[in-house]
Amino acid sequence: MAETELSPVWITLSATEMEIAGFIGAKRRAASITHKWTTTRDFTDSGIGNDVEAVAAEMAVAKALNIYPEWSPSDGSKAVPSFDLKWHALIIDVKSTTYSNGNLLIPKLEPSRIYTLVRGSIPKYEIVGFIHSDAVKSTGQYTNQSYKSCWTVKANRLNPISRIPIF
């Protein structure tokens, strides 16, 4: 895949969308605390804030794609389902960062997924682009981050969000 200049999509969440993100994020955090589950979001100062931001980023992608997300509740074995968004059989794993020049970080590469990079914070998000899991190893590189090793794909190596095959 050649490096390209992406035209990101900007999404601003409404007040109601922000409230929904707050509610779902708080429920995820409460489940994590109750069951003593930890995630990579726990390595930062604000677990609940990170959970709310993660949900808001997922909501921004759903809004950009004009899909209603299938946010299934957890089966009880973890705070969140094993995917962020699902549209029919397509699993969209949203990775977000507040860094304006951030890249896509994938701690655990799963097959048959679309990984999407979102940058920003409530209420405004930049939907940078996506990559299919099959292309991550040939396009990105395995790197050591401060809290965990992961696959890293530079933002300019992603596909425009408009090319996600949702229909």
Contact in structure between 61 and 55 (CB atoms under 8 Å): no
Sorted by where each begins, the domain ranges of the chain are: 9-162
From residue 29, give the alpha-carbon distance in Å to each of 23, 33, 42, 48, 51. 10, 6, 10, 6, 7
Q: What are the pLDDT digits (tens) for 148-157?
A: 899 999 999 9
In sequence order, the β-bridge partners of residue 66 are none
Selection from 167, 64, 149 nearest residue 108 by Cα: 149
CATH topology of domain 9-162: ECO RV Endonuclease; Chain A (3.40.600)
Burial tier of 160 (Cβ tally within 10 Å: 0-12, 13-18, 19+): middle
Work out the pLDDT band at 25, boundaries 50, 70, 90: confident
Cα 73 off chain centre by: 17
Tell me the β-bridge partners of 10: 126
pLDDT tens per residue across span 29-84:
777 777 777 665 544 556 778 889 999 999 999 999 998 876 655 555 555 555 67
